[in-house]
């Protein structure tokens, strides 16, 4: 004899991913400078994709600011760098003076095909 299966309506929130590329959690040093400036500053990348990065910077930048950025990582036993031009896509609300770094989302504006290939290889290794 078959048991009757009771069907229930499901309620909740559905969160559809809007990103074009999957994001990977990382913790990598970055060096950056504002367009037209020679001063280099340091930050950290906390996630990465083929289209952009989540970075923590020691200063507030504005949406639309263009930065020259260098990402440092290891691939195998070699230290690699990727250089790119990025644009600030969003900034997190800073929680007050002395709190720490500013959470910033950036998208790639210009990255060489060679550096993009290095990034794809690095991200592929993270997913395995």
Q: What is the CA angle 111-25-121, rounded to 5?
A: 45
Q: What are phi and psi of 17, to 5 degrees?
A: -70, 125
For 39-82, the pLDDT digits (tens) are: 999 999 999 999 999 999 999 899 999 999 999 998 778 889 99
CATH architecture under which domain 24-127 falls:
Beta Barrel (2.40)
pLDDT beyond 60 at 97: no
- Which phi and psi (to 5°) does residue 73 adopt? -155, 170
The residue-averaged pLDDT of 15-44 equals 85
Q: How far apart are CA 121 and CA 41, in angstroms?
A: 26
**pTM for this model (two decimals):** 0.78
Say which residues have a Cβ less than 8 Å from residue 44's Cβ, sequence separation at least 6. Answer: 27, 28, 29, 30, 55, 56, 101
């Amino acid at each position: 004899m078959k048991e009757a299966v009771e069907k229930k309506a499901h309620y909740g929130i559905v969160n559809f991913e809007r990103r074009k590329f999957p994001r990977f959690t990382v913790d990598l040093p970055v060096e950056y400078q504002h367009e037209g400036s020679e001063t280099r500053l340091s930050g950290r990348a906390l996630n990465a994709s083929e289209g952009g990065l989540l970075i923590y910077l020691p200063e507030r930048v504005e949406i639309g600011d263009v930065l020259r950025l260098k990402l440092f990582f290891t691939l195998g036993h070699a230290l690699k760098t990727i250089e790119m031009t990025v644009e600030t896509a969003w900034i997190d609300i800073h929680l007050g003076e002395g709190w720490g770094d500013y959470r910033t989302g950036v998208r790639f504006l210009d990255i060489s095909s060679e550096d993009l290939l290095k990034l794809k290889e690095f991200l592929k290794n993270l997913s395995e």
